[in-house]
Structure 1
Amino acid sequence: MATFDLKSFSSALNETNKVQSGVDFTGKSLKLNTEKDAKDIVAAISACPDLYYLTLTGNTLGVAAAEAIARALESHPELKVARWSDMFTGRMKTEIPPALKALGDGMIAAGARLKVLDLSDNAFGPIGVEGLAKLLQSEVCSELEELRLNNNGLGITGARLLAKALSSRPPRLRVFIAGRNRLENDGATALALVFQKMGSLEEVAMPQNGIYHVGISALSEAFKQNPQLSCLNLNDNTIGPKGAEAVAKALPRLKNLKAINFGDCLLKSKGARTLAKAFKDNSTLLECLDLSHNEIGRAACKELVDAITMLPDSGERLARVVLAGNSLGNAASKKGMKAQLGTAGELTDDEGESGDEDDDDDDDEGTESEEESDGESQDEENTEDSATEDAQHSVNISFNTMATSNNITLDTSGMDEVKNDVERFLKEPMLQNLERLGSNPVDVIEAHIESTQDTEELLTQYVNATLSVAGLSLNSDKAGDAAQLLFARTIAAANKRAASWPLTEKLLRGLALIKSEEKSPIRWHLPGCYAALARALPQHFPPALRSTLRFFIHAKLASLPAELRDSLQQHPVLLQD
């Protein structure tokens, strides 16, 4: 008979109720090269009696500064959370491994037991993993619950090194995040072997990694050994019909799965039907499902909707179902799906309407048969695997630039009915819609946005509104002046909420400088946005944000379409001080 350990129970209860304290230098934009540069952080660490967390996000550390911080950490075995994302901007790759190793050695010397390690947005590549290996293999990570390595440029080699480091002592991770790393099939397969040993995963997010059905199948096998998995994000990989089959086979073991994001995964109708059948057969209790932009036909979309609304509690349980960007059929078809999904359904950005109610997606099935044939060569798959995000992104930018510069009217059928003039403008950012907002459009837009409670969504709305107005600046002085006010208020809103780095990411996405995980289209005119940005940059932007934008603009300049590149070169302030 098991005994009840009152002492352990009391200790756990005290840990839960204890107020978390620590040191947070988020977004200070400190350039820490020497031990002297790091003295403020060292002093704060030394003065903290209970260092539960240390957050250094948005600063940049050299080796000497990292060593000084590491020495301060040696006195803090209680450290549980290390949030060190975006911490090596402007550093040479050779500086990063010794800096990471020094920080790890400090925690090892202290005997710390981390629960959370976040090193996202540090482009250290495979060489950075070498600096992490000792830490990941140590007792410090033996109780690790969250490992966040989003946007680190790991590649296949980095993924293999990471898998090797984790496999010697697999932690009982609950959360694993590794989006935008070009892991591809081999990297995903290497990590899948480690996931099988963990058995504890609750959330896995690996979007934009160039993973095809081979890697998806390996991951699906691993997920079977993680029955507590509740959130799975494989957005913008190529799952395809074969990958969908592998996922479907894993579903009977995943009774806790609540959220799936397979947007932009080329499922097609065949893959969608496979998932629909699996959802139905296993009575999967989904709350959120994103299958947007997957080239799914009307009939298959209907099967999906039927499957996830089959159970009587679906109306209360479903919070978000995104099928935007698929062929949903005619207005009656979309209306019927919307009625089934209720407020959870997001069916806008439709790729087209079909008047044929008996459409069986024959063209789609023919394409799938060719793609999924057993004769598919490995060389063909590797060719697709190696397509770069930059090349794909340039195509998106070119289309956006052409569409806006030539005044092409885009099809907006299927859009939800707008609730007010601000929403109308944001959906169709044209001068006539801006003029509907009256003589003071900035205040009207801000009043609409400030009703949003969630910080992430609020910043998204600020950035989208600002760029929508800025895009009109080449054709309207009024729009240009309004854009300047909106830039200033957007930055003020981020500063007020201590969210400068989330703002940076949203601006980079809105300006098409990094690829977005979301599939909402860029509706604003990018040349106009950059013209307005050139005017706003020296007046309203803090130094760190200026530097970051210039870095990305300069890095992307050569790959941008000629029209946009010529536009940028007319504004040298966007490229250098």
Structure 2
Amino acid sequence: MSNFDLNSINSALSDSGRPISGVDFSGKSLKLDTANDAQPIVDAINACPDLQYLTLTGNTLGVPAAEAISKALEHHPELKIARLSDMFTGRMKTEIPPALAALGDGMITAGARLSVLDLSDNAFGPIGVEGLAKLLQSDVCSELEELRLNNNGLGITGGRLLAKALASRPRRLKIFIAGRNRLENDGATALAKVFQNMGTLEELAMPQNGIYHVGVAALSDAFRHNPNLARLNLNDNTVAAKGALAIAAALPKLKNLKCINFGDCLLKSKGALALAKAFKENSLLLESLDLSHNEIGREACMQIVDAVTALPDSADRLSRVVLAGNSLGGANNKKIMRDKLGASAELSDGEGSDDEYVTDSEEENSNSEEEEEDDEESQNSEDSATEDAQHDTLTNFADTIALDTSGVQEIETDVGRFLAQPTLENLEKLGPNAADVIDVHLQSIKEPAAMIQAYVDATFCVAGLSENATASQIAEQLFPILISRATRAPASAWLLANSFLTALALIKSEEKPQRLKWSLPPCYRFVSRQLLSPTVPPALRDTLRFFATSKRGAAPLADMLCQ
């Protein structure tokens, strides 16, 4: 959980003689559901004549509370710093985009110009970026220098959406933080294009994102265009030898680079040697270097030490050099390293630990070809083998087990045929009680997410035909059954909203996208009518209208949902 940071606020405010004032409710663990719940924050904002910063970290906001705070923000164009991290604990994902959008609308109405925006530790995922897009594309973020989106669960889709929003206008970001987001190669590559056009980065941190050498190479190309880059953190990504070579090629353009964290990046000796050579040839004035847990052999470790201590001022300049978790050799080798590195040396994970993970004395020489093959294999296989893909591999393996199906005849039902091919002809075969027939067919599904998705798909298969009077009547009968079945399931609000959004093509599915089987225009008209029903959960109604509003212009049919 983030705390009040006076130094950050001081540096972000351009007028050093200006008294610092703002509102800080950080760490109070307030649960703000309604406008009344948010009144203490609203009162504090209204009572602050010069609101330079707003910190709400560590509380949890619902949509009505966010809207109330937004109204108060409309009167503060002087706002420069918004620290809104860890604000949605216990909230459904569908609540977060409209809450974020509401806060953004308040700043937009005020005409504020933020220099710092921190939204870290809010697990809003890709759909949360939809709520941020308007703010990021507005004048409010036209002067943004620091953007923190750590641990937001963006994924590849969120990374692409974020890149698109940032690319909408020229940027001059100095600090970009986006660790623990599973951006992977595609997300990193999309953002790299933004960084390349930016040219102002001073600090970049993207640890734990599943990025392999392809994404690292794209980022390295972007680094060449950001000569002021001073701090670089790619910890716990698979940089490997190929990625290290790409970064080494960019280092001649990065004379201001002071701090590097490539810990746990599977560099191995080949990658470490490439970096050591680049450090030495470009006379980098490094102050901090973390290459821990990279399976680096002792000779390569020694080359790293020699490279960072080559300049005569290294003893005064180096504050931290971490080589723990690599093969450092015997006591004599370690003594040499410690003598060269001085107090900056961190050669073990803890007291008494030797970190001897690689012990073959010929590791750099006789096994160099094998190491290169291992690097290539790990990058080619793991690059495309995310956790989901590995799960798919196991599933595919199970699918290869041959079962004796002789004598077994698959029974194709009328409902199954209709759901596979939703035509009027197939719907008529279900008879006058088609809604009940479909309901009985789907009740056998026990897993909540699959059950809700099945009911939504079935409803839209019928609604897509609702220009026909009979189909329209069946859809009207099926919709309340869908709501009734879905709302009994755990986490139903999120599952139901997500299924509706993908079925209406308002968001892309996080799974492999499937071609819709139904026509969207009649489905939009059908759903717009159903939203007036009191049986519709308010969260579903608000979420659909929010996303439909955000899609206006790009998807005109969505306007029907906003009537």
Residue 334 to residue 379, structure 1, CA distance change in 2 (3 Å): closer
From 339, 355, 368, give the equivalent of 1:351.
355
1:377 Cα deviation after fit: 8.5
Q: SS state of the match for residue 232, structure 2?
A: strand
User: Any idea what the Cα deviations from partners look like across 1:78-106, whole Å, max 9, x if unmatched?
Assistant: 00000000000010111111000111010
| Residues in 1 aligned to 2:149 and 2:379: alpha-carbon distance in whole angstroms | 32
Residue 178 to residue 332, structure 1, CA distance change in 2 (3 Å): same
Number of the residue aligned with 2:383: 381
Number of the residue aligned with 2:496: none
| Residues in 1 aligned to 2:29 and 2:146: alpha-carbon distance in whole angstroms | 25
| Residues in 2 aligned to 1:309 and 1:245: alpha-carbon distance in whole angstroms | 21
Report if the CA contact (8 A) 2:212-2:379 is conserved.
Answer: no
Number of the residue aligned with 1:309: 309
Uncovered stretches (5+) of structure 1, i.e. residues with no partner: 1-11, 390-577
Number of the residue aligned with 2:280: 280
1:19 Cα deviation after fit: 2.1
| Residues in 1 aligned to 2:341 and 2:263: alpha-carbon distance in whole angstroms | 18
| Residues in 1 aligned to 2:367 and 2:355: alpha-carbon distance in whole angstroms | 14
Identity of aligned residues (%): 71
Q: SS state of the match for residue 17, structure 1?
A: coil
Amino acid at match of 1:70: S
User: Any idea what the Cα deviations from partners look like across 1:11-42, whole Å, max 9, x if unmatched?
Assistant: x9981221211000011111111100000000
Amino acid at match of 2:364: D
Q: Which has the larger radius of gyration?
A: 2
1:204 Cα deviation after fit: 0.3
Aligned residues: 376
Number of the residue aligned with 1:365: 368
| Residues in 2 aligned to 1:50 and 1:324: alpha-carbon distance in whole angstroms | 48
Number of the residue aligned with 1:337: 337
Amino acid at match of 1:370: E
1:370 Cα deviation after fit: 1.1
Report if the CA contact (8 A) 1:51-1:76 is conserved.
Answer: yes
1:369 Cα deviation after fit: 1.8
Q: Following superposition of structure 1 onto structure 2, how do residues 126-205 of structure 1 map, counting pairs within 5 Å?
A: 126-205=126-205
Q: SS state of the match for residue 289, structure 2?
A: strand
Q: SS state of the match for residue 260, structure 1?
A: strand
1:65 Cα deviation after fit: 0.4
Q: SS state of the match for residue 257, structure 2?
A: coil
| Residues in 1 aligned to 2:318 and 2:166: alpha-carbon distance in whole angstroms | 36
Q: SS state of the match for residue 385, structure 2?
A: helix
CA RMSD, 1 decimal = 2.1
| Residues in 2 aligned to 1:328 and 1:14: alpha-carbon distance in whole angstroms | 47
User: Any idea what the Cα deviations from partners look like across 1:401-445, whole Å, max 9, x if unmatched?
Assistant: xxxxxxxxxxxxxxxxxxxxxxxxxxxxxxxxxxxxxxxxxxxxx
Residue 34 to residue 388, structure 1, CA distance change in 2 (3 Å): farther
Number of the residue aligned with 1:397: none
| Residues in 1 aligned to 2:207 and 2:100: alpha-carbon distance in whole angstroms | 25
User: Any idea what the Cα deviations from partners look like across 1:106-128, whole Å, max 9, x if unmatched?
Assistant: 00000000000000000000010
Residue 202 to residue 364, structure 1, CA distance change in 2 (3 Å): farther
1:351 Cα deviation after fit: 2.5
The two structures have a TM-score, normalised by structure 1, of 0.63
Amino acid at match of 1:381: D
Report if the CA contact (8 A) 2:326-2:357 is conserved.
Answer: no
User: Any idea what the Cα deviations from partners look like across 1:500-531, whole Å, max 9, x if unmatched?
Assistant: xxxxxxxxxxxxxxxxxxxxxxxxxxxxxxxx
Report if the CA contact (8 A) 1:69-1:103 is conserved.
Answer: yes
User: Any idea what the Cα deviations from partners look like across 1:523-557, whole Å, max 9, x if unmatched?
Assistant: xxxxxxxxxxxxxxxxxxxxxxxxxxxxxxxxxxx
Report if the CA contact (8 A) 2:160-2:187 is conserved.
Answer: yes
**Residue 258 (structure 1) aligned with residue 258 (structure 2):** yes
| Residues in 1 aligned to 2:215 and 2:98: alpha-carbon distance in whole angstroms | 32
Residue 354 to residue 240, structure 1, CA distance change in 2 (3 Å): closer
Q: SS state of the match for residue 337, structure 1?
A: helix
Number of the residue aligned with 1:112: 112
| Residues in 2 aligned to 1:295 and 1:234: alpha-carbon distance in whole angstroms | 16
Number of the residue aligned with 1:87: 87
Report if the CA contact (8 A) 1:101-1:131 is conserved.
Answer: yes
**Residue 217 (structure 1) aligned with residue 228 (structure 2):** no
Number of the residue aligned with 2:409: none
Amino acid at match of 2:83: R
1:371 Cα deviation after fit: 2.9
Structure 1 residue runs of 4 or more that deviate by more than 3 Å after TM superposition: 353-356, 375-380, 384-389
Number of the residue aligned with 1:535: none
Q: SS state of the match for residue 312, structure 2?
A: coil
| Residues in 2 aligned to 1:111 and 1:129: alpha-carbon distance in whole angstroms | 21
Q: SS state of the match for residue 173, structure 1?
A: coil
| Residues in 1 aligned to 2:259 and 2:173: alpha-carbon distance in whole angstroms | 18
Q: SS state of the match for residue 71, structure 2?
A: helix
| Residues in 2 aligned to 1:176 and 1:69: alpha-carbon distance in whole angstroms | 26
1:380 Cα deviation after fit: 5.2
User: Any idea what the Cα deviations from partners look like across 1:24-80, whole Å, max 9, x if unmatched?
Assistant: 001111111110000000000000011000000000000000000000000000000
| Residues in 1 aligned to 2:173 and 2:380: alpha-carbon distance in whole angstroms | 33
User: Any idea what the Cα deviations from partners look like across 1:148-174, whole Å, max 9, x if unmatched?
Assistant: 000000000000000000001132000
Number of the residue aligned with 1:508: none
Amino acid at match of 2:368: E
Q: SS state of the match for residue 245, structure 2?
A: helix
| Residues in 2 aligned to 1:120 and 1:128: alpha-carbon distance in whole angstroms | 12
Number of the residue aligned with 1:437: none
Amino acid at match of 2:373: E
User: Any idea what the Cα deviations from partners look like across 1:309-335, whole Å, max 9, x if unmatched?
Assistant: 000000101010000010000000001
The two structures have a TM-score, normalised by structure 2, of 0.65
